[in-house]
Structures are given as C-alpha cells and as structure tokens.
Structure 1
C-alpha cells in the first residue's frame, strides 16, 4: 500500500507540474566565499604608491591602492583587535611591496611618511585607514567593524601603473 501511495504521489506531482522541494543549501551572502585568512603574493613589485582611496559597494567596502609601476608583492592579514576610545575594531594589516617616495626622495603619497583617510561614517565596514612607508614596503592599517571575509587582487592600469584592491564584505 505504501508503494502504491508513493507512485501515486509521483504521478500526481508530475502531472500537476509541482516538484518536491530539495533541502535548502546555505548560500554565501551576495555570493561571497572569500574567508578571513591571510592573503599574500611573494612576488617583487617595482613602483611607488601614488594614491589610496575607498569606495562603497552593495555587498562590500573597497580599498584601492594605486601604484606607479607594477604591484605584485603584498600581504594582507588580520591582527589582534584594536581598541579605541569609542569602540573595538578588527584590524587588517596591508603590507605593499612599494615605496611611498620616488628615487629622488620626494613623497609620492602622503607627507612625512604618513597618511590618514577619513570620512567613513557612511561605510558599513570600514572605520579608519592610516599608513606610511618609505623605501621598500608600505604598511596600511585598515580598521573594520569586525573580522569579516576579504579578498585581495591586482589590476593593471591606468597607463603603466597598477592597483592593489582589498574588498571587505559587509557580513559573513
């Protein structure tokens, strides 16, 4: 009798166009499956940082580091949380294998070996960006509201330059 009921159910579903619901699988938010572990490239870069800027997107906040020349060497990782007078943030340390001065000793970005980006009050993830560097490696501190998934990649251009891009998701 049970077998007859199953066969009848299958015939009924097939003739009515209905289907049995498959178990729902959890899908990553906005398709994001990046993770929060260290990301790096051990290649050697040739160039200097000429700009750092941030942008907001629907599913993540983006930090772009402009380099005059090719950027290949970098390391991005979470460090222990940083506490400020107002809140506790997750701390992404970005090390770029690129200087912030040109061969003549002129600053290519920032001044006195330091820079700070402000205006993140409307960002969902970013809280603060600061950095500095002289000869070979430049360090950039990116404070985010929590330890969230991130990805890192490079883009060519504009011109003979390149960009290091760090995207941090709004949530897991």
Structure 2
C-alpha cells in the first residue's frame, strides 16, 4: 500500500512538472508575430495647396503617431470635404501674418501650415481655439514622436490660421481634406520601410 502511494505521488509530481514546463512554451508560441509594415511612398516635399476657403472656424488641432508617419489634424466641424483651403510648405523661418514677427520653431525643418479657416467666430471675434501666438499648441505633447519636434501657433489673421510644425528634417508629407478636418502626415523616412 505504501509502495502504491509512492508511485501515485511520483506520477502526480511528474505531471505537475510537465504541466509547469508546458505553460511557458505555450505562452511563448501564443504571441502573434507582428506583420511587416509597408509605408506609402511618393508624397514628396514640395508645397501643397488648395485655394478654397470657409468662414467655419476651426475648433482643435491635434497630433498622432503612426507606424510610417506623424500626423497633425486640424478640426473644422461643419466644413465639407474639399471645401477647406490650405497651404503647406517648408519655410526657412516662420513669420506671423500681419505683424511679420518671427516665431521660432524647433526642429531640423519647419512646415508652415495655413488653413483657410479662422480660429475665432467671425460674427463675434471670440476665439474658438484657445491658442496663443508664438506658444506651443494647447494639449499637444510631442514626446516620443519620430518626426515631429515642435508645434507653434502663429495666429489667425483675415480668416486664415497659421501654424509652424517643426520636424526632424525635410521629409515627404501629404495633405488630406476630409469632412470636417484637414490632415497633414509627415513621413518618418524617405523610404517605404518606415
């Protein structure tokens, strides 16, 4: 009887050891492999623009990180797709419209982003976006971004809002007009590898 209990205990202990060894192996194989990312190409770094304009004021400017690019979104609620005018181009230095004041923007290159929408209500002049000229964009934290280095509000003058976007270097970018927003994507690299 004692011998039977010893055999049962040995078999039970061996089962526990095997099961414990199998769990880490199963957990290691359960993690899915990350698929390779293919980044879009052909954006270029030349100026991009559209001459439309709207009296609809912008409400927010926000940023996001993606596998292949960093993104800035200008929210203009109520603007239809294709109705937003803009000009996005690399500049040597950012100068504020109206005053001509130089606004320093950190980074290896500066993208000037102009959106043909005011940051104030045209009827009352009340701000619709709580930014101050020369200061970083409110609520935008660029820590950990691969491409973006700085984002400065330059002002809103005669119905057009101006922003300076500091990037790591002169990199390719694209501009997308979507319902209620303008999107500026700046690639991490010049190649499709991201």
TM-score by length of 2: 0.64
> Is the contact between residue 73 and residue 182 of structure 2 (CA under 8 Å) also seen in structure 1?
yes
Aligned: 1:155 with 2:178: yes
> Is the contact between residue 49 and residue 66 of structure 1 (CA under 8 Å) also seen in structure 2?
yes
Match of 1:159 in 2: none
> Is the contact between residue 46 and residue 69 of structure 1 (CA under 8 Å) also seen in structure 2?
no
Aligned: 1:72 with 2:84: yes
> Is the contact between residue 68 and residue 188 of structure 2 (CA under 8 Å) also seen in structure 1?
yes
For residues 74-113 of structure 1, the aligned pairs below 5 Å read 74-80=86-92, 88-102=107-121, 103-112=123-132
Residues 65 and 115 of structure 1, relative CA distance in 2, 3 Å threshold: farther
Q: Deviations over 1:12-63 (max 9, x none)?
A: xxxxxxxxxxxxxxxxx71321000000001122311100000000000000
Match of 1:23 in 2: none
Task: Structure 1: state its 5+ residue gaps.
Answer: 1-28, 157-161
Distance 1:88 1:130 in 2: 12
1:113 is displaced (CA, Å) by 5.3
1:81 is displaced (CA, Å) by 6.1
Aligned: 1:130 with 2:152: yes
Moved more, 52-61 or 132-141: 132-141
Task: Structure 2: state its 5+ residue gaps.
Answer: 1-37, 95-103
Distance 2:70 2:107 in 1: 19
1:75 is displaced (CA, Å) by 0.3
Distance 1:165 1:45 in 2: 16
1:154 is displaced (CA, Å) by 1.0
Select which of 149, 172, 184 maps to 1:166. Answer: 184
1:111 is displaced (CA, Å) by 4.3
Distance 2:168 2:72 in 1: 15
Report the count of equivalent residues: 137
Instruction: Say which structure is richer in helix.
Output: 2
Instruction: Say which structure is richer in strand.
Output: 1
Aligned: 1:58 with 2:64: no
Aligned: 1:142 with 2:155: no
Q: Deviations over 1:81-119 (max 9, x none)?
A: 68xx9x752000011101111021211002455652342
Aligned CA RMSD, in angstroms, stands at 2.3
